[in-house]
Amino acid sequence: MPVSYKDLGLANTKDMFRRAFAGQYAVPAYNFNNMEQLQAIITACVETRSPVILQISSGARKYANQTLLRYMAEGAVRMAREMEKAKGADQAVPITLHLDHGDTFELAKSCIDSGFSSVMIDGSHLPYEDNIALTRQVVDFARPLDVSVEGELGRLAGIEDEVQAEKSTYTHPEQVVDFVKRTSVDSLAISIGTSHGAYKFKPEQCTRDARGVLVPPPLRFDILAEIEKKLPGFPIVLHGASSVIQEAVATINKFGGKMKDAVGVPEEQLRQAARSAVCKINIDTDGRMVMTATIRQVFAEQPGEFDPRKYLGPARAALVEMYKRKNREVLGSAGRYGSEI
């Protein structure tokens, strides 16, 4: 039996993006695969009064079990409401459950039927007309149910478990109006130089600062500006937006890891993007790295510890702090639904 997200207390992205656009900030879209990540995302976003998009990739669905993840998201909404009630918040932060990088109509439909309030259909690797046809098929199913749909034009470089693109291709601004008109999507992911994962730029693409830290080439804000001109007021999405926090890289490497030359998108550039038409910023890798850094440190410093709560607990606490800081300093989404609690 299909279930509507409306009965689960979830929100689609319509009102979220309208407010983000007007307020010149971006809604965080944080990926999760397990309980600690989900707890940290909800805690950070409820306490900073930030709207939030909980993202589930098809890889996450396979890893954690699709039914379990969907009920975890439903539980997360209840947890958020209880926290708000306990702390006397006078409004609720909106929470969206979103499919990240959906690649087939069947996957998008299955997520919508199980209570997702938003789906991405990523046909960016397909020929243009095929991308339009697939995206349109998903919109036709989602629209009557009030479920939001994100499409993508242009290809990001980078490699994830299920998301791969050998080479990036920037979004062609001359295609965006036609794509949005013919697909009727609610938001559009674009390619302006970000990429997935922890190695977003090759060292040869970067310069080095005085301390020898890699400085990546700037994002293509000129392409973003052209797209904004062609689609006034339309919500744009930025994938591959982790900063690859250098403290986390250093901790991982200090405690036995090997993440040489890991580099991400500088946070000032993401803040700049969040002030523009970019209404949704996707962050997964930073969460993975902060978790790994903390766990490596606990293992190295307390080798006798074997209770998972003793390393997953500190990892969760570090995640809460990282997400709060992102909401406040990078996305600008903190304090948008009342004062912090």
Active site residues: 100
One-letter amino acid of 17? F
Q: Which is nearer to ligand 13P, 99 or 295 (CB)?
A: 99
Residue 287 CA to residue 292 CA, distance in Å, equals 9
Residue 241 touches which member of ligand 13P, Zn ion, ligand G3H, none, C-beta under 5-8 Å by kind: ligand 13P
Q: Which is nearer to ligand 13P, 101 or 324 (CB)?
A: 101
Residues of this chain that interact with ligand 13P (CB under 6 A) are 31, 100-101, 196-197, 239-242, 282-285
Q: How far is the CB of 31 from ligand G3H (least distance, A)?
A: 5
Cα 158 to Cα 18, 85, 163, 191, distances in angstroms: 30, 42, 8, 12
Q: Which is nearer to ligand G3H, 165 or 185 (CB)?
A: 165
Position closest to Zn ion via CB: 239
Listed in sequence order, the residues at least 6 apart from 32 whose beta carbon sits closer than 8 Å to its beta carbon are 38, 41, 54, 55, 56, 60, 287
Per CB under 5 A, contacts with Zn ion among 79-98 are none
Listed in sequence order, the residues at least 6 apart from 41 whose beta carbon sits closer than 8 Å to its beta carbon are 30, 32, 52, 54, 76, 319, 323
Residue 60 touches which member of Zn ion, ligand G3H, ligand 13P, none, C-beta under 5-8 Å by kind: ligand G3H
Listed in sequence order, the residues at least 6 apart from 258 whose beta carbon sits closer than 8 Å to its beta carbon are none
When binding is defined by CB under 6 A, the residue of 113, 162, 267, 340 that contacts ligand G3H is: 162
When binding is defined by CB under 5 A, the residue of 239, 280, 296, 316 that contacts Zn ion is: 239
Q: Which of 191, 282, 273, 278 is CA-nearest to residue 231?
A: 278
Q: How far is the CB of 212 from ligand G3H (least distance, A)?
A: 28
Q: How far is the CB of 160 from ligand G3H (least distance, A)?
A: 4
Q: How far is the CB of 200 from ligand 13P (least distance, A)?
A: 7
Q: How far is the CB of 233 from ligand G3H (least distance, A)?
A: 26
Number of residues that bind ligand G3H (CB under 6 A): 12
Per CB under 5 A, contacts with Zn ion among 108-127 are none
